[in-house]
Chain A
Amino acid sequence: MTPAIADIPDTYRPSPYYVQRVSDFTAGSTFLVTSQPNFDAKDVFLVAGKLGYHGFQRIETFRDYMPDWDFNRGQPMSELAYRWMCEFLKCVELPAGKRPSVFLASSGNLELAWEDNIGSKYQAEFGPSAIEFFRDNTGAEGIAEASDAGVREVAQILSV
């Protein structure tokens, strides 16, 4: 019997985007080509709902950044970081009427930043393997593993 998608562990699910190895025989080297991800409509709806059209559009612009966009440090936006950010947005409780800003770090990580109604700062930076968090009214600052459990933990720390 074919297992349902929900029964398949994450590690066995197909990547949201493909990576193809390309051989350049004339130069004797190989390089990788990464496709644009096949966007999940639910994630697009989620991101546009939580970050607004402006935030959604910023992410689309970050995807178009050329390599080395920050001198030798600008990495392409990480699609894994995007995935963890989407999972986080599903769990976190944001202050009423507040829309986080989204930023791109030189490492290719995505960062969210917002304030509560008294101006306390909340921030989370999503990378492929770690999530950094900061909340100034509790002094919470640290790094969690990028995993379903890590996302839930950070969402709990940063929820109002």
Chain B
Amino acid sequence: MNRPICPPEENVVRAICSDHYDSEEERISASLFKGKDTSVSRLLLISLEDHWDLFRHNVQKPHRRLELIGEISVGRLQEIGRAYEPAPMELTVEQAPEDWNRAHAVIPQNITRGLANKILPALKLHKPI
């Protein structure tokens, strides 16, 4: 199935929950981006403020808290993928709307731990509002 591609100018966000974030040490797990079909959400369709509500209702679970939202542009994500040594990767963000989130999108490529570690510092982190 061919899914529409998000352009480099678009910004996407990812929920960062307590299982992937240690608030005491302020560390984020590389698992946040490691692997394939990583879920993100498009700011073009839903504002950051509304994403807080959306994620609180759908991503939070008993014992699992939404701690932060990480934002990055598709273009920056692609730059990091292309510059990654020893294995440059062409990253894409593909639109994949779901019932609970019309702005849902995925990064289909299988991101390695090393590459995920390069993406994490590029995130703009938003604290709860």
- A-side residues, CB < 8 A to B, are 54, 58, 61-62, 64-66, 69-71, 74, 99, 101-106, 111, 113-114, 121, 123, 125, 132, 134, 136, 139, 141
Contacts and interface: CB of A to CB of B under 8 A. Distances in A.
Given A103-B29, A105-B31, A136 B18 contact: no
Interface in B57-79: 61-64
A101 B63 contact: no
Interface stretch (B5-13, B44-52, B109-117): B109-117
Contacts of A132: 113
A85 to B, nearest CB: 14
13 contacts: A54-B22, A58-B18, A61-B63, A65-B19, A69-B61, A103-B20, A103-B29, A103-B31, A104-B20, A105-B31, A106-B31, A123-B30, A141-B114
A125 B25 CA distance: 18
Prevailing SS type, chain A contact patch: mixed
Contacts of B18: 58, 61
B113 to A, nearest CB: 5
Interface residues of B, number: 20
A99 B61 CA distance: 27
A88 B112 CA distance: 22
Contact of A69 (B22, B64, B112): B64
Contact of A111 (B31, B39, B86): B31
A104 B60 CA distance: 15
B27 interface: yes
Contacts of A113: 27, 29-30
B56 to A, nearest CB: 15
Contact of A141 (B61, B62, B64, B112): B112
Given A136-B114, A141-B114, A58 B29 contact: no
Given A58-B22, A64-B62, A103-B22, A134 B31 contact: no
Contacts of A105: 19, 29, 31
